[in-house]
């Protein structure tokens, strides 16, 4: 059977079986006598030329000659032959992706389960509201510092090591929470493993490495379903278990789930998901320098198209992130909601987020260009910001939730996809680690800045800030020169 070659991208390169047809668009192709087609990346003009293939039937018993053509297994439900560099822990490419989704659900459920218990543990140890805020800020700061390091660690050591280490770190965090004899010291020490707890960037790297650029937005969007399921299951299970078996029982459940997740990631995730130019596994990716190299981080940011898109990602979503951080305060003081009603509002958020990530983004990216959708998301966030500045009731805000989430979700997925295409496949983990810094940065700086704006200028100031920033970015993106070439992989 003959398989058509596709344009090379950050997906999988594989060996293709020799068909009974000899393909030789080049005058003197190198011989292929082993029954497999050696692969190497071609430039886009070369790849286009290879689509015009000359077919010559082979004489019985004769050998075949082939040029080096890259095969990316993207549009076919087929598996590359198992062998050195293509072994996927006994699982198909999409099976590995589904396991990655499952691991995301497990770890996010464990995290939100311990979040639901953390406040009660802090109160039992005598920590006041200021101290609890400092505890949360410490977690966000550690995540901010650890994201780039974790990304480069995944590039250099492989996805299996990264995801397994994330579960082990989660296990350590939960274990330290049980050290009640350690008091507040043990409570703050329990935040230290947050440096290595990054389930989303690790899972994103696996999906980025195993999908083509065309498949990637939809696959990354479905990963958000894992976050939504964890957001719902974690507090729900935590509440049910703590009510029946005691306040510390959810931590034991999360410990067991983290152990299961570590075992699954160690046995089912490939040791390395990256392939080099010859289709071989590359255990030592991530460019030069060490895991903590700031020079390598700066090198990634200075690559073509990276810094402008990364700046748009940070600036466009930052005002909306501040508003969402202040939402619990706004719900009580502005909308007059009770605790139970605020919980319903959070569930409303979670449902819409899962629908947009799982069902909407993939369909839009299959029909429209990423640059057009990115401009649309920035414009939508600006319009929603103006509407939030003028809203007066909870009904107004509920009507704004779908476009707000559409703008945020599409902004994050599109910029992640554009940035991973702008770097080498060996650096996707490091780039996704940088992208993951945005949310911890917002959680670290947002409460102080949002509290100042809310106390000084009122809730409308948060909406006007979002409107002003995204209006400026919309004008900046108007001519299209900033996003020129974002559709092409590096």
Split at pLDDT 50, 70, 90, the class of 3 is: very low
- Run of H or E residues at 44: helix 44-50
Instruction: Give me Rg for the CA atoms of the chain.
Output: 24
Q: Taking residues 200-229, report their average pLDDT.
A: 86
Would you say residue 60 has pLDDT above 80? no
**Three-state DSSP state, 82:** coil
Q: Taking residues 318-338, report their average pLDDT.
A: 88
- In the block, tokens 């983004």 appear at 361
Q: Give the list of residues 6+ apart from residue 454 with CB closer than 8 angstroms, or none.
A: 326, 329, 330, 461, 462
Distances (CA, A) of 284 to 15, 19, 291: 21, 33, 11
Q: In percent, how much of the chain has pLDDT > 70?
A: 75
Residue ranges covered by each domain of the chain: 89-272, 296-485
Distances (CA, A) of 199 to 100, 115, 224: 9, 16, 12
Q: Taking residues 62-86, report their average pLDDT.
A: 39
Q: Which of 470, 180, 430, 183 is CA-nearest to residue 298?
A: 430
What pLDDT is stored for residue 181 in this prediction? 65
Q: Taking residues 101-110, report their average pLDDT.
A: 92
- β-pair partners for 36: 17
Q: Taking residues 431-451, report their average pLDDT.
A: 87
Would you say residue 11 has pLDDT above 60? no
Q: What share of the chain is helix, strand, coil (3-state, %, to 5)?
A: 65, 5, 30
Q: Taking residues 178-203, report their average pLDDT.
A: 83
Q: Which of 483, 254, 465 is CA-nearest to residue 368?
A: 483
Show the tokens assigned to 328: 């619990």
Would you say residue 72 has pLDDT above 50? no
d(CA 327, CA 343): 12
Show the tokens assigned to 266: 């160690």
Q: DSSP assignment of 219-253, as one string?
A: HHHHHHHHHHHHHHHHHHHHHHHHHHH-TTHHHHH
Show the tokens assigned to 198: 């990054």
pLDDT tens per residue across span 114-130: 877 787 788 888 887 77
d(CA 24, CA 56): 8
Would you say residue 28 has pLDDT above 70? no
Show the tokens assigned to 21: 């047809």
What pLDDT is stored for residue 486 in this prediction? 58
Q: Give the list of residues 6+ apart from residue 231 with CB closer than 8 angstroms, or none.
A: 108, 112, 350
What pLDDT is stored for residue 186 in this prediction? 82
What pLDDT is stored for residue 453 in this prediction? 92
Question: How far is residue 145 CA from its own chain's centroid?
Answer: 17
The larger pLDDT score, comparing residue 450 to residue 173, is at 450
Determine contact, residues 362/490, Cβ cutoff 8 Å.
Answer: no
d(CA 465, CA 449): 12
What pLDDT is stored for residue 167 in this prediction? 92
What pLDDT is stored for residue 230 in this prediction? 84
Q: Does domain 89-272 have CATH number 1.10.10.10?
A: no
Count the Cβ atoms, other than its own, within 10 Å of residue 223.
Answer: 23
Split at pLDDT 50, 70, 90, the class of 226 is: confident
Would you say residue 53 has pLDDT above 50? no
Q: Would residue 131 be called left, alpha or beta, if left means φ above 0 and alpha means ψ between -120 and 50 degrees?
A: alpha
Q: Give the list of residues 6+ apart from residue 31 with CB closer than 8 angstroms, or none.
A: 63, 64, 65, 66
Would you say residue 256 has pLDDT above 70? yes
What pLDDT is stored for residue 33 in this prediction? 35
What pLDDT is stored for residue 287 in this prediction? 53
Would you say residue 30 has pLDDT above 60? no
First-to-last CA distance in the chain?
30
Determine contact, residues 256/175, Cβ cutoff 8 Å.
Answer: no
Count the Cβ atoms, other than its own, within 10 Å of residue 478.
Answer: 10
Would you say residue 103 has pLDDT above 90? yes
pTM of the model: 0.70
- In the block, tokens 């000359």 appear at 54
Split at pLDDT 50, 70, 90, the class of 220 is: confident
Would you say residue 461 has pLDDT above 90? yes
Homologous superfamily of the 296-485 domain (CATH): MFS general substrate transporter like domains (1.20.1250.20)
What pLDDT is stored for residue 106 in this prediction? 93
pLDDT tens per residue across span 468-488: 999 999 999 887 776 766 555
d(CA 291, CA 151): 9
Q: Which of 42-46, 276-280, 334-338, 435-439 has the lowest mean pLDDT?
A: 42-46
The larger pLDDT score, comparing residue 14 to residue 290, is at 290
Q: Give burial (CB, 10 Å; 0-12/13-18/19+) of 118.
A: buried
Split at pLDDT 50, 70, 90, the class of 275 is: low
Q: DSSP assignment of 406-452, as one string?
A: HHHHHHHHHHHHHHHHHS-GGGHHHHHHHHTTHHHHHHHHHHHHHHH
What pLDDT is stored for residue 407 in this prediction? 95
Average pLDDT, the chain: 76
Split at pLDDT 50, 70, 90, the class of 376 is: very high
Would you say residue 489 has pLDDT above 60? no
d(CA 15, CA 221): 29
């Amino acid at each position: 059977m003959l398989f058509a070659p596709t344009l090379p991208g950050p997906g999988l390169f594989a060996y293709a079986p020799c068909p009974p047809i000899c393909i030789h668009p080049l005058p003197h192709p190198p011989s292929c006598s082993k029954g497999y087609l050696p692969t190497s990346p071609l430039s886009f003009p070369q790849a286009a030329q290879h689509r015009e293939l000359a077919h010559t039937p082979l004489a019985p018993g004769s050998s075949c000659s082939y040029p080096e053509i890259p095969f990316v297994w993207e549009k076919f439900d087929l598996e590359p032959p198992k062998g050195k560099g293509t072994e996927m822990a006994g699982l198909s490419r999409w099976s590995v992706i589904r396991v990655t989704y499952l691991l995301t659900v497990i770890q996010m459920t464990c995290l939100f389960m311990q979040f639901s218990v953390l406040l009660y543990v802090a109160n039992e140890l005598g920590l006041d509201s200021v101290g609890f805020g400092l505890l949360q800020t410490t977690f966000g700061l550690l995540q901010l510092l650890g994201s780039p390091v974790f990304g480069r660690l995944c590039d250099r050591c492989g996805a299996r090591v990264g995801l397994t280490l994330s579960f082990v770190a989660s296990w350590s965090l939960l274990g330290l929470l049980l050290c009640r004899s350690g008091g507040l010291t043990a409570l703050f020490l329990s935040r230290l493993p947050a440096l290595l707890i990054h389930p989303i960037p690790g899972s994103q790297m696996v999906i980025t490495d195993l999908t083509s650029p065309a498949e990637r937005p939809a696959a990354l969007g479905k990963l958000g379903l894992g976050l939504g399921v964890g957001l719902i299951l974690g507090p729900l299970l935590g509440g049910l278990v703590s009510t029946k078996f005691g306040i510390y029982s959810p931590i034991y459940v999360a410990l067991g789930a983290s152990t299961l997740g570590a075992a699954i990631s160690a046995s089912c995730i490939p040791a390395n998901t990256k392939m080099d130019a010859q289709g071989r596994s590359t255990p030592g990716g991530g460019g030069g320098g060490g895991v903590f190299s700031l020079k390598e981080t700066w090198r990634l940011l200075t690559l073509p198209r990276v810094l402008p898109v990364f700046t748009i990602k940070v600036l466009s979503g930052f005002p909306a992130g501040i508003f969402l951080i202040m939402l619990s305060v706004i719900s009580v003081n502005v909308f007059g909601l009770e605790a139970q009603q605020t919980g319903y509002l959070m569930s409303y958020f979670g449902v819409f987020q899962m629908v947009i990530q799982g069902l909407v983004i993939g369909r839009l990216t299959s029909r429209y260009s990423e640059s057009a959708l990115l401009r649309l998301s920035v414009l939508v966030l600006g319009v929603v910001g103006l509407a939030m500045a003028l809203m007066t009731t909870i009904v107004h805000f509920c009507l704004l939730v779908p476009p707000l989430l559409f703008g945020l979700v599409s902004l994050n997925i599109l910029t992640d996809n554009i940035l991973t295409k702008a770097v080498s496949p060996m650096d996707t983990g490091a780039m996704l680690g940088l992208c993951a810094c945005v949310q911890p940065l917002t959680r670290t700086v947002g409460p102080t800045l949002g509290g100042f704006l809310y106390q000084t200028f009122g809730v409308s100031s948060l909406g006007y800030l979002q409107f002003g920033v995204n209006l400026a970015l919309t004008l900046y993106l108007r001519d299209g020169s900033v996003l020129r070439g974002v559709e092409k992989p590096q």
